[in-house]
């Protein structure tokens, strides 16, 4: 062992390792967000991006990464942070303005008492998310119009998108996920999700590293009994037992084969006829598909490892 190694305090070695891991995480997050933006053309020259900031880890990370990417982006765009103060009892109204002033981003705090509306209309013990979400969405669309925002950026990540797919399958009997880009309900805005390729565990680590001043959502008390919370716990458990399962499920959302599903609106099953022409890429009707066979290339690229 060298004299240098003997002279190095254990704490110094641990600090170097932590710095290395943080730098690696930073590169991965910025690369994944940049890739999602490029794959789905989320940001264009001259865009004014309204970043919805709730005080949770995901929206803090979204704003943080977009601010960094803007410095070296190939096209110019603006950012404005918007928080909806829903007048929840005990909400620390000073935290977000202080943080946003510190990082130097233009922002707007929109005060609307949706808390009282939700509490009045939803019986005690029932879930509040649906009504709360509808009220919040309408307000944010209005604010985006007032600000002249061309895009609305939300902090949903890879795990949110997989959970939404499973929620729709289990309880809505439909194959519907959470798209990385869509036109808003009112038809006036484009909503983007730049964290689409990012794992929630990475966002948790990033929030800890960056020491974001997290504000918990007290409106619903986190409602641990919600089906969404249970499904999130389920896929976390799957990923611990079978690493890569969430990645595979997410990638599958970008590798749809309409001819091998059952939606008659997407594929002309009723008019399907034999052509007499062999298709080298076609189905082998009497064979079972090999689930381990690699899928066709897709625009969805997870991990983007170093």
What integer is the mean pLDDT of 84-92?
A: 83
Confidence band, pLDDT 50/70/90 cuts, at residue 119: confident
In a domain, 304, yes or no: no
Condensed to tens digits (0 to 9), the pLDDT of residues 121-174 reads 766 666 666 667 778 888 999 999 999 999 999 999 999 999 999 999 999 999
Give the whole-angstrom CA distance, residue 32 versus residue 66. 12
Averaged pLDDT for residues 213-239: 77
Per-residue model confidence as pLDDT tens digits over 19-44: 889 999 999 999 999 999 999 999 99
Q: Is residue 9 one of the residues assigned to a domain?
A: no
Give residue 117's pLDDT.
Answer: 77
> Which is more confidently placed, 5 or 44?
44
Q: Is residue 161 part of a domain?
A: yes
Burial bucket for residue 180 (CB in 10 Å: 0-12, 13-18, 19+): buried
- Which pLDDT score, from 0 to 100, does residue 303 have? 43
Cα–Cα distance between 74 and 71 in angstroms, integer? Answer: 9
What tens digit of pLDDT does each residue of 185-223 get?
788 899 999 999 999 999 999 999 999 999 986 555 445
User: Which letter does DSSP use for residue 259 in this model?
Assistant: G
Task: Report whether 129 belongs to an annotated binding site.
Answer: yes
Q: How many other CB atoms are there within 10 angstroms of residue 254's CB atom?
A: 16
In a domain, 283, yes or no: no
Confidence of residue 301 (pLDDT cuts 50, 70, 90): very low
N residues, the chain? 306
**To 5 degrees, how large is the angle CA 223–CA 226–CA 228?**
120
Q: What pLDDT was estimated at residue 280? A: 75
Q: Which residue in the block uniquely carries the two structure tokens 């900031």?
A: 53
Q: Is residue 223 part of a domain?
A: yes
Contact in structure between 134 and 155 (CB atoms under 8 Å): no
Residue 264 lies in a domain: no
CATH number of 166's domain: 3.40.50.620
Averaged confidence pLDDT in the chain: 85
Measured distance CA(130)–CA(223) in Å, rounded: 13
Tokens 């925002």: give the residue.
149
217 assigned binding-site residue: no
pLDDT score of 182? 96
Contact 131, 118 (CB under 8 A): yes
CA 55 vs CA 34, 157, 163: distances in Å: 23, 16, 21
Question: Is 297 part of a structural domain of the chain?
Answer: no
With 60 as the cut, is the pLDDT of residue 302 above it?
Answer: no
Residues of the domain holding 236: 23-252
Judge whether 210 lies within some domain: yes
Q: How many domains does the chain have?
A: 1
Task: Render pLDDT for 59-75 as a digit per residue (tens, 0 to 9).
Answer: 999 999 999 999 999 99
Q: Is 292 annotated as a binding residue?
A: no
Q: Is the pLDDT of residue 281 over 50?
A: yes
pTM of the model: 0.84
pLDDT at position 279, please? 77
């Amino acid at each position: 062992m060298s004299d240098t190694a003997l002279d190095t305090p254990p704490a110094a070695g641990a600090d170097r390792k932590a710095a290395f891991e943080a730098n690696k995480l930073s590169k991965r997050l910025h690369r994944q967000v940049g890739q999602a933006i490029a794959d789905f053309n989320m940001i264009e020259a001259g865009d004014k991006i309204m970043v919805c900031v709730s005080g949770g880890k995901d929206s803090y990370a979204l704003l943080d990464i977009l601010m960094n990417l803007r410095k070296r982006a190939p096209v110019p765009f603006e950012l404005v942070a918007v928080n909806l103060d829903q007048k929840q009892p005990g909400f620390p109204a000073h935290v977000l303005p202080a943080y946003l002033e510190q990082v130097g981003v233009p922002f707007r705090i929109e005060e609307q008492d949706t808390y009282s509306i939700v509490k009045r209309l939803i019986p005690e013990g029932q879930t509040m998310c649906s009504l709360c979400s509808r009220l919040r969405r309408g307000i944010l669309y209005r604010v985006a119009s007032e600000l002249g925002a061309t895009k609305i950026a939300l902090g949903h990540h890879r795990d949110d998108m997989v959970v939404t797919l499973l929620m729709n399958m289990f309880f809505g009997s439909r194959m519907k996920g959470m798209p990385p880009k869509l036109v808003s309900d009112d038809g006036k805005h484009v909503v983007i999700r730049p964290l689409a390729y990012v794992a929630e565990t990475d966002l948790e680590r990033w929030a800890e590293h960056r020491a974001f001043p997290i504000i918990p959502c007290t409106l619903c008390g986190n409602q641990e009994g919600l089906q969404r919370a249970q499904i999130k716990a389920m896929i976390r458990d799957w990923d611990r037992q079978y690493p890569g399962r969430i990645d595979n499920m997410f990638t599958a959302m970008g590798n749809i084969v309409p001819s091998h599903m059952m939606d008659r609106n997407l594929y002309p099953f009723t008019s399907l006829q034999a052509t007499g022409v062999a298709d080298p890429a076609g189905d082998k009707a009497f064979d079972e598909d090999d689930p381990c066979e690699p899928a066709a290339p897709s625009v969805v690229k997870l991990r983007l490892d170093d």
